[in-house]
Chain A
């Protein structure tokens, strides 16, 4: 836990705006969290002060706003908790714990850095895109974004991602907006059209089928990549050990110092368990075991 500071704070709602049929953007005043949060890190949000719904919901932060005093969360209304969130008005408050998790590791090397997002997951890439955009403005790297959505009505945050510069490719599963196809299919043709893959690095956030396709793609081309794992969580701080995911022993040994992690390796097989909340939610593509 060295070097990290986790805060619990009551964050007033500054805005809560509907982006499309299913997605909303919540703006919260949380200076203490906004001061230190890194791309890919998340906050654990308590939907209300009572016991129903009981558990917090983890949300990756979309971006910092209001001179670094606020944070924005993009969420999909999927169940009771998010339905209650959608009813929040300016002046209401949410109890937050954060910043949590490991975040994306940014290398700023002279490569083609590609953001690959699917659905609600695209939001988790934006603040990373801002940092990459800054570096690309200084001419040290190239940036591209490939964002996939189900259909035209689900497309969101186009303006924001356009502002990052670099190539932005939007795609829909049904072809009603942008290119037709899934995010990783479109990524694949993008890389093919460039004529080279060896200088690419990808950062992904999307649903599990996208993650599986991405892992296969990165493996095929030998491209380094990071992806975001999603998991129901209880504490978010590595105390309850309930949000485990399977990891590849060789993969984690290559990338991590296990002593400062929650990773437990199985002495009898080539897998281990990592905690999504603290060892993740961002993992290297060669670390995760997706089934």
Chain B
């Protein structure tokens, strides 16, 4: 896509994105929910919600609470219709769009990742697989897959071997250094890596003395306050590998997106800001174009990693 003479397109694996802006998985439903509010054909890509082999109930209430300091906790627990119903009921609508569709998959073990990848690779309309390594390794003790570099490698390798589609590794480097994880995913054949911390928080109602998250107790911290932490992760990942890095965390507008690109991210995912203001996507894409034009940048890819220490 060219905006004011600026080429905003970026390449992630085999994907040519018209611009570097996409929603983060779990914040955009299956796309159709946002159709009245967002130009789905204007996005760089659409990442649908985390999909599991079998349908998931998800967590009990409360799954969401706003907390002071421009943040919230959320813990949906991967409620989704399962890969079969996704293909039968959700994919036909997405296939009608002109935007690449990225499916985030969350397995309970390596075998489930492989089965889902095979199923999604057999049908038309899926452009890439985002491997959710931040979900619990149920068969391996319950920690996140990316809590162990070898396990992360095994999962990405299994997905890589099962598909020719572009593979994005979404990793939570809370226990393994982000540089190590990025390298491991790259060597297992990932086309891109997207680091997210997914730190769990809690909140107590001081009037009742009870958990504001109900029986869930915990919830993943979200919101604009996450940006500095995730900007650092994107930077370090980009320093460690030559495959593209996708930045994600606290992006509320084009200024944040520019910062991620400068740090080394080739594309960005918008999460909470898009849920709160669906115009964020368009505003970010337009803002990126205008910023680049004002700076005399003709191709946005030139900006990626152009950050200078001083």
- Show the binding face of A for B, using Cβ within 8 Å: 1, 4-8, 46, 51-56, 95, 97, 231-235, 237-246, 259, 264-266, 272-273
Contacts and interface: CB of A to CB of B under 8 A. Distances in A.
B121 to A, nearest CB: 26
Nearest to A259: B89
Nearest to A6: B36
Contacts of A234: 64, 72, 74, 272, 275-276
A212 to B, nearest CB: 15
Given A241-B58, A244-B58, A55 B66 contact: yes
B64 A264 contact: no
Contacts of A233: 64
B275 A273 contact: no
A181 B196 CA distance: 53
B27 interface: yes
Given A46-B276, A241-B29, A264-B79, 11 more contacts: A54-B70, A54-B276, A232-B62, A234-B275, A235-B27, A239-B29, A241-B76, A242-B63, A244-B61, A244-B79, A273-B79
B27 to A, nearest CB: 6
B287 interface: no
Given A1-B35, A240-B64, A264 B57 contact: yes
Contacts of A95: 277
A262 to B, nearest CB: 8
Contact of A1 (B26, B32, B59, B89): B32
B13 interface: no
B77 to A, nearest CB: 9
Contact of B61 (A46, A52, A245, A265): A245
B276 A56 contact: yes
A281 B215 CA distance: 22
A253 to B, nearest CB: 16
Contact of B63 (A8, A51, A243): A243
Contacts of B57: 264-266, 272-273
A186 B64 CA distance: 35
A234 to B, nearest CB: 5
A31 B79 CA distance: 35
Nearest to B54: A267
Chain B binding site: helix, strand, loop or mixed by DSSP?
loop
A234 B64 CA distance: 8
B223 interface: yes
Interface in B70-116: 70-72, 74, 76, 79, 81, 89
7 contacts: A55-B276, A233-B64, A239-B27, A244-B58, A244-B61, A244-B63, A273-B61
Contacts of A241: 29, 49, 58, 63, 76, 79
Contacts of B49: 241
Contacts of B252: 51
B65 interface: yes
B102 to A, nearest CB: 16
Contact of B277 (A46, A53, A264): A46
Contacts of A245: 61
A11 to B, nearest CB: 14
Nearest to B252: A51
A8 B49 CA distance: 23
A161 B49 CA distance: 44
Nearest to B49: A241
B29 A238 contact: yes
A6 B32 CA distance: 12
A232 B37 contact: no
Nearest to B61: A244
B228 to A, nearest CB: 14
Contact of B37 (A52, A54, A97, A246): A97
A7 B276 contact: no
B81 to A, nearest CB: 8
Contact of A5 (B29, B36, B223, B278): B36
Contacts of B65: 232
Given A97-B278, A238-B29, A53 B34 contact: no
